[in-house]
Amino acid sequence: MTWQTFLFLAVAGTAFGYSGYRFSILFKLMKAHQGQGRKVDRIPERISTVILNVLGQKAVLQKKGIGIAHTLIFWGFLIISVGTVEQFASTLVQGASFEFIGHWPYRAFLFLHDIFTVLVLAGVGYAAWRRYLVRPEGLGKSHDASLVLAFTAGLMVSILIMHGFHIAGVQPDYSSAMPVSSSVAAIIQGLFGFSPGVNAIIGTLFKWIHMCLVLGFSVYIPGSKHLHIVAAGPNTFLKNLDPTKAMKPINFEDESVTQYGTAKVSDLSWKDSLDYYSCTECGRCQDVCPAHNTQKPLSPKNLILDLKNNLYANKEAMLAGKYDEVTGVIDSHITEDVIWACTSCRACEVACPVFIEHTDKIYDIRRNLVMMESKFPTEVQTVFRNMETNASPWAFAASDRANWAEGLSVKTVAEETDFDVLLWVGCAGSFDDRNKKVLRAFVSLLKKAGIKFTILGNEEQCTGDPARRIGNEYLFQTLAKANIETLNRYNVKKVVTACPHCFNTLKNEYKDFGGTYDVVHHSQYIAQLLQDGKLKPTKSVDETITFHDSCYLGRWNNVYEQPRSVLGAIPAARMVEMKANHAESMCCGAGGGRMWMEETLGARINVKRTEQALETKAGVIASSCPFCMTMMSDGVKTKEMQDKVRVLDIAELMDQATP
Amino acid sequence: MNIYVCIKQVPDTETKIKLNADATGIDPTGIKWIVSPYDEFAIEEALRLRDKNPGSTVTVLSAGPARTVDAIRTALAMGADNGIQVETPETADNQLVAKALAQALKKEAKVDILFTGKEAIDDGASQTSQLIAEHLDFAHVTVVLGAEYTAQSVTCRREVEGGAIEIIEAQLPVVIAAQKGLNEPRYASLPNIMKAKKKEIKVLKLADLGVSEADQKVRVKNLQLPPPKAAGRKLSGDTAAQVQELVRLLHEEAKVI
Amino acid sequence: MAKVLIVAEHRDGRLKKATLELVSHSASSGNETHVALLGDGVQSLAADIGQAGAKVVHLAQAPELKSYTAEATTRVVAALAKSISPDVILASHTPTGRDFMPRLAARLDAGIASDCTQLSYQGNGISVRRPIYAGKATAEVEFLGSGPKLATIRANSLGAPKLDASRSAEVVPFTSFELSGLKTRVVNVVQGNAGRPDVTEASVVVSGGRSLKSAENFKILEELADVLGAAVGASRAAVDAGYRPHRDQVGQTGKVVSPSLYIACGISGAIQHLAGMRTSKTIVAVNQDSEAPIFQVADYGIVGDLFQVVPLLTQELKRVKEH
């Protein structure tokens, strides 16, 4: 025990005490949320997710340059933290060290420690170069980030100087394991030529500087974006494990529920706050957001930060349990326009290195706006009315639903009980002249392959997807239950549909209401028919084709390859990818109910995506979704390219190629 | 203020009309019933007037068979306070309905203002508001696009011929028949929908009101469906000939100009 | 033969053609035709009514009758009806006729049929047919009980009035009415939104799409609209391109319209647009692309260049109108 022991105890006690207090408030804030958080199940999968993404930095490495820099800093942080613990120990108990782990292991540790100190510095250098010179738009300006970079650099520099003086002063036998620090020692000797005693004292001084930086950092972290070093690990552990995702159902039977959706931050869940805590403000979500990239007021990054700020502003009321006093989630930052701008494409969620789920928060806020406050863009009222009275978002008579199939001798399930698969037509296929042609082409393919199929005919109703994404869960459930009743009544087992929105809803969301079916998208079905040799495309389609990924097929359901394999099977067709493809594909602008809303802010999303498609010089833009079809076709017309570029569904192309 | 609204339940606008076996009415199978759209403007106007005058109530009345309560519930979900169903037969004419509704209104303590739609979209007769007004000896203003209310009177903007707007002042009590454009009807919030489900709706029978089927003055003898609309056709000839033919068809065949 | 009382309608010192149509039709059906002419300083209008075949014009004049109100009209006509006991009382189904006639029916405890498009006289009664469900069906209406039979008749349903200068009606002043204590008062009549009506209210809508290529080119549609008294609408593409304001947008996310005549110029007919105008009674499409989906819903289609077709159509309509 020396004066250093007592000084350290006092300083570290204060720092950790204060830091701990701040963390405890964050924890209590988490617990003060009223919404339902994620259920912790499938532990082994979660552990392997953490190993892969935290230790392995897989998600971070989706972006190469900064991903590598972050990985170096993160691994360095792990190793250097062990060194910091050793420093703390040796300050508390004179001469304490980790040398007991063995001669070589200890030297190996020191070697790594030494090397990573430099690698971390290199990583910080790269990050600083990017932040101050490259300045990607998504990063924005952040004093917090500058301070964190300075802290980290300070920590590394203090380590090197500490080790340099220590080696110069004490000349420990393990110095050979620390090549960098040894070089620093040599430089110090050459520069100053102090006596070993003086060097040792300066070494101790820098150890204190380093330890104070660490302690200062620990106090700083809870209020900083660097909170992610604590939160991101748990958030990764708690991530949504499937690429597919169903929206959370509301139990309308439960009469104790009086608040539907999120009016206040407290209506969200503890997991949502963990999302804010995890956010590092890297801006990857913003970079890929179709709304942000067309000058809409929505930035997924700002949404998360604004929610965090709203939570902090309501700290007192939340902690006191005075939920009445918590202010609304819609404020001067999160405006209604922000909430309505989302196309539910989930590009933000796929891009997020710490698995923040942005869109669920938006849907939940929409639920409150729609169901509690009846606030939504005026044109949406027509959509709701149509869905309520005609079971279609467009104003068409329910009794006209099967008219598209006139002359095709397609039987309804009421007329024909022996079938392999039920064809779910969808509202676009039923009522939109352009998409009726897609359905006719798909029917033609099914016939060519000799498949026994039926349709529900006029008994089919909208799946409810538009209502659900817009926030009208009540209307969604009304339609879902009616459809499930019909499907179950006819004992339907397998369903194929040409609409990814219907596909997603039938496959992933009806489960929660008693409707479990084997649902495939027509791209998957056609791919299977090709594989089984039931379809034999032999006619050449001499076209250059670029495929536009539908969000609800790709990011929502992880179906990327089958539509491409279908196109690839077309003789003479040449495939060319857009720059943004697969998981990075850009939304057409129609998802999340935006198909039925006006786009009055910023540039048009469909035009931007069409421009990306036109860049490929392809003569055909292939789509696999009725909404994408509409949006891309409109985009092509806007660009006045309709004479040179056609937008076709994969089924239409395959039908052309199949005799 | 004691505010009342009379509404009618009608088949949705997209309904395919099929006749019943003896062609005296429509076949009701598969029909989606809605509140007649003009009546929604009436409900909305009543709710707005109530909210501007604390202590006011909005009571919704509708005449018709049992299914009519659904229309009343829709109005309750929008925010109306009370609902009254007057049981009338499917075949009732507007005279019978109006008399029954007027009698029901006479049972109320006081009626300051009564809103209706300017017409129901099923029979499109635009009669009931005026009929009720006469039975109650109230003033009436139809096809109202805008209204300003005072404690004694209401000043309305009503649509007359040729796009002209008449400004008319009427003393309370008054019947106002709403035209599209009067306001933007709200979408019912879910808590209100839930509350509306539990609200009690008073049911009145014709006998309770001293009205009998003898008060019916007209009856639908038979219905006919119009000849199926001819398939659309593209005109032929040179442009000038096509244009001339078009004008002739619009005038003589479609009779729209 | 029936005793028919027709309530005359006039505006700006001129009789409505629809009134003459009723009078002429009644007279030529062999009825004893009486006409109630209400107003202030309107006696000169009796001559035309006589030429159309009326037997008697009952002239009710008072300052309170200068501007139409349902209340005053009901009082006067009810008093007249009680005095002359007609079998049938008719008015045109105009904003005026549809306003007071039901009130009159309630006062007389009589049956009424509105917006009739067919009318025939049988003995001392009438047989009428009227459209219901927005024209998706028609109903024959039967009057029950005794008392006068009231009907409002849609203009232009009975054929053009036949005027005969040799005929004249007996003009009888009618004064046995009471107009004190009226509860309604016309403050003013103003012209609505100057010139063109709003798309949702117009009975004729002329709409343009992106093919118009500029805001200025909408002028040709405006000229056509002015001949027809129509509103000018636009597709979403045209609105997006900035050719027209959003309030003119027809379609799912704009205005939903159902006029008696919809003329779509250079509009392909995407679902978004069709959802907003499909229920129009008569649809005319002008489009260069003969495959455009708009032709699926159009009653009459012209495949051609709208920049040629529309001005010609305007000219032709003007020419027809002048004759």
A489-527: pLDDT as tens digits: 999 999 999 999 999 999 999 999 999 999 999 999 999
DSSP A266: G
Q: Rounded to the nearest 10 degrees, how much is the dihedral formed by the CA atoms of C97, C99, C100, C101? A: 60
Q: How confident is the model at residue C1 (pLDDT cuts 50, 70, 90)?
A: confident
Checking if the pLDDT of C193 tops 60, the result is: no
pLDDT reported for residue C194: 55
DSSP one-letter string for B111-131: -SEEEEES--TTT----HHHH
CA–CA separation, A336 and A404 (whole Å): 38
CA of B240: which chain C residue's CA is closest? Answer: C312
Per-residue model confidence (pLDDT) at position A459? 96
Query: pLDDT tier at A302 (50, 70, 90 boundaries)?
Result: very high
Q: Kindly report the length of chain B.
A: 257
pLDDT at position C253 is 85
Residues C211-218: contacts with CB under 8 Å, at least 24 apart? C211/C265, C211/C266, C211/C267, C211/C287, C211/C288, C211/C306, C212/C238, C212/C243, C212/C265, C212/C266, C212/C306, C214/C243, C215/C242, C215/C243, C215/C244, C217/C243, C217/C307, C218/C243, C218/C244
Give the tens place of pLDDT for each residue, C89-135.
999 999 999 999 999 999 999 999 999 999 999 999 999 999 999 88
Rounded to the nearest 5 percent, the helix, strand and coil shares of chain C are 30, 30, 35
Which pLDDT tens digits describe chain B residue by residue (257 residues)? 999 999 999 999 888 889 999 998 999 888 999 999 999 999 999 999 999 999 999 999 999 999 999 999 999 999 999 999 999 999 999 999 999 999 999 999 999 999 999 999 999 999 999 999 999 999 999 999 999 999 999 999 998 876 688 999 999 999 999 998 899 999 999 999 999 999 999 999 999 999 998 899 999 999 999 877 777 889 988 999 999 999 999 988 888 87
For C225, the token pair is 């609209």
**Nearest residue, CB atoms, A394 vs list C210, C240, C275:** C275
Does the pLDDT value for residue C192 go beyond 70?
Answer: no
Using a CB–CB cutoff of 8 Å, tell me whether A291 touches chain C.
Answer: no
The amino acid at residue C127 is S
Q: Which residues does A485 contact at the CB level (< 8 Å), separation at least 6?
A: none
Residues C253, A597: C-beta atoms closer than 8 Å: yes
Going by DSSP bridges, is the β-strand pair A518-521/A494-497 parallel, antiparallel, or unpaired? parallel
**Checking DSSP bridges between strand C88-92 and strand C14-15, what pairing results, if any?**
unpaired
**What SS3 class is residue A521?**
strand
Starting at the earlier edge strand, list the strands of the sheet with A646-649: A574-575, A544-547, A620-623, A646-649
Tell me what the mean pLDDT of segment C298-313 comes to.
Answer: 95
Of C253, C269, C293, the CB nearest to A598: C253
Binning pLDDT at 50, 70 and 90, where does residue C198 land? confident
Given a cut of 80, is residue C323 above it in pLDDT? no
Beta-carbon separation of C252 and A379 below 8 A: yes
Q: Edge-to-edge strand order for the sheet containing C204-208?
A: B233-234, C300-303, C282-287, C261-265, C204-208, C231-234
A583-606 residue pLDDT tens = 999 999 999 999 999 998 999 999
In this predicted structure, what is the pLDDT of residue B256? 81
State percent of chain A over pLDDT 70. 100
CA dist., res. A511 & res. A498, Å (int): 20
Interface partners of C (3+ CB pairs, < 8 Å)? A, B
Return the H-helix or E-strand segment holding C314: helix C306-322
Which residues 235-264 on chain C approach chain A with CB closer than 8 angstroms? 237, 240-241, 246, 252-254, 256
CB within 8 Å: A382 and C252: yes
| Cα distances (Å, whole numbers) of residue B243 to A443, C226, C231 | 40, 17, 20
**Structure confidence at residue B253 (pLDDT):** 84
The answer to whether residue A245 scores a pLDDT higher than 90 is: no
How far B131 CA lies from chain A's nearest CA (Å)? 30
Cis before B173? omega within 30: yes
pLDDT higher than threshold 90 for residue C195: no
Task: Look at C301 and B235 and tell me if their CB atoms are within 8 Å.
Answer: yes
Q: Is there a contact between C252 and A596 if contact means CB atoms under 8 Å apart?
A: yes
Query: Is A472 a residue whose pLDDT tops 80?
Result: yes
Chain A residues with CB under 8 Å of B188 CB are: 374
B250–C261 CB contact, under 8 Å: yes
> Do the beta carbons of residue B68 and residue B149 sit within 8 Å?
no
Better-predicted residue by pLDDT, B214 or A372: A372
Mean of all residue pLDDT scores within chain A = 95
Is residue C221 within 8 A of residue C310, CB to CB? The reply is yes
* Residue C205 near residue C228, CB atoms below 8 Å: no
Average pLDDT over residues A31-38: 94
Q: Strands across the sheet with C3-7, in order?
A: C111-116, C149-153, C88-92, C3-7, C32-39, C56-61, C170-173
Beta carbons of A420 and A452 less than 8 angstroms apart: yes
| Predicted pLDDT of residue B252 | 85
Residue of C nearest to A392 (CA): C275
Taking only residues 17 to 46 of chain C, the set having a beta carbon closer than 8 angstroms to any beta carbon of chain B reads none
A102-161: pLDDT as tens digits: 999 999 999 999 999 999 999 999 999 999 999 999 998 999 999 999 999 999 999 999
Using a CB–CB cut-off of 8 Å, the residues of B that contact A are 12, 14-16, 30, 32, 34, 184, 186-191, 193
